[in-house]
Structure 1
């Protein structure tokens, strides 16, 4: 399968502080006995790392603090094969995600954006015709400007859910959301192409609210679901940009997502994209 030109990811970079406990706490409740890890994350960083491992190259446009966490994120992206020349060090601290994960892989996440509030496109060239993927953990105005500057395929992972400017939605060649986000953003019913993930129910593609394709979920044991959606997003954009049809692209992305949930990492290792085409392999990353 031909892999497209380098995927450029415009978005967030966070350090993930993850506490694993036997169950998630209720409001006001303290749960003891957890184990703590510190690892690179952020929806943008996760998507860029996944794209680089799946396709051999990716570019990241983002911002980190001038602190040890910022260096941790930059080094992790470089190891994954991501071009970080458009990641800018800024004064605010690196973005941080506070994550609690239970024994079934379910999670609760709170994010302090920090440096992500200052993501700039000054060092980014989006006019080379290659695919671009953005999310909403950075300012929507920056995402809209990225869409305007992109000359090729533009995809938006509309998470966290929020109202989308009409111009942004019109420019998107693809919007990717989960089931709850699809319900929270009613304007997606009129979008030209929307991929919706349903967890164990697989994923579907919609055009103007009408289902055009579906792929079942790949069965696997869930260890950590934090980076699975991000891996799905990267794989789906790469698959579509490679010329695969919608059903095959969804199946491929579901297989990559299944590989991701089998790893404790938010930025796991992957085989190349053609290893997962049509969902034929769910080998854990």
Structure 2
């Protein structure tokens, strides 16, 4: 069984002719709880919230790009439970093409998200239907993947599904290995760009260059990634912005300062906006500047997908000082 979204969620006044994006990845429901601080091991704390919201890194990135006006399709899976409708609600509203979304017997993916008062979160992910996204299901969407200008993937589907992608992609492969898993190094070297935070970058480097002494600075991390054969990379630095490495060298992307409410999904908003910028023809540093602003906007609202901007929203400005 497949689901098809109506196109009415695409923001008015935007164009879908900027280049297509296919996101291959996870679809979850997020169970969101707020606490004053994160509990220590063995500790019970009172919290609030308990809302069920649409989530999953794949769905988040697809919604982020579509709300900004991108032409986006999602390759993924949901279960046969009632939570599937929650998981799909924002995708449908944003106008994401769900023709390649499968329904598989069992539960929809679940993420248990705890957000502290300072906006930092901790997340436990239960794969559910996302575990069905192996190589066969990815290859079934091969025509759509081959036709896309940008193909986006993350680490919340099985290894074999991710490893099937480079042979299908004819455009640009935006790879966000989060969470990081053991992958064929050729897949990591096909990532253009590879988008990682500092923790993920260290794990990826350990796979590509296991004998390398871990670099001490963000700049050195990026140089090590490109020296290891990654053609382009983006290192996200949270409130400090990001660093980009491409054929022209290193580029520092400033942050857009905001009062963070909830950082859940802000990194996915960054990646969705990065994909949109690349799909419409921006160079990587320019796309990362847009992504920095969109990610910051997302941190000012609660939850992941509900916090993402539309093309009409005013984005925070970058700190150019």
Flag whether TM exceeds 0.5 (same fold).
Answer: yes
Q: Secondary structure at the match of 1:146?
A: coil
Q: Does 1:192 align with 2:231?
A: yes
Structure 1, unmatched stretches of 5+, are: none
Q: Secondary structure at the match of 1:230?
A: helix
CA contact (8 A) 2:163 2:183 kept: no
Counting matched residue pairs gives: 279
Shift of 1:183: 1.6
Aligned-residue CA RMSD in angstroms? Answer: 2.3
Indicate which of 197, 213, 235 corresponds to 2:251: 213
Question: How far apart in 2 are the matches of 1:199 and 1:118?
Answer: 32
Counterpart check, 1:40 vs 2:54: yes
Counterpart in the other structure of 2:101: 87
User: Cα deviation per residue 1:163-197 (whole Å; 9 max; x = unaligned)?
Assistant: 33122123222111111111222137221111010
1:196 and 1:249 mapped to 2: Cα distance?
A: 13
1:258 to 296, 306, 314: 296
Could you say what secondary structure the match of 1:200 adopts? helix
Shift of 1:274: 10
Give how far 1:243 is off: 2.6
CA distance in structure 1 between the partners assigned to 2:79 and 2:284 by the alignment: 39
225, 232, 237: which one pairs with 2:263?
Answer: 225
The whole-number CA distance in structure 1 between the counterparts of 2:172 and 2:299 is 27
Shift of 1:157: 0.6
With over 3 angstroms needed to count, the CA separation of the structure-2 counterparts of 1:234 and 1:269, relative to structure 1, is: closer
Q: How does 1:1-285 map to 2 (within 5 A)?
A: 4-119=18-133, 120-121=137-138, 122-124=140-142, 125-186=144-205, 187=208, 189=225, 190=228, 191-207=230-246, 212-267=250-305, 268-272=307-311, 280=317
TM-score (norm 2): 0.81
Secondary structure of the residue aligned to 2:54 is: strand
What stretches of structure 2 of length at least 5 have no aligned partner? 1-13, 209-223
Q: Secondary structure at the match of 2:257?
A: coil
Flag the 1:238–1:56 CA change in 2: closer, same or farther, 3 A: closer
What is the TM-score with the length of structure 1 in the denominator? Answer: 0.91
The answer on whether the counterparts of 1:55 and 1:273 sit within 8 Å (CA) in structure 2 is no
**Contact 1:21/1:103 (<8 A) preserved:** yes
8 Å Cα contact 1:158/1:176 also seen in 2:
yes
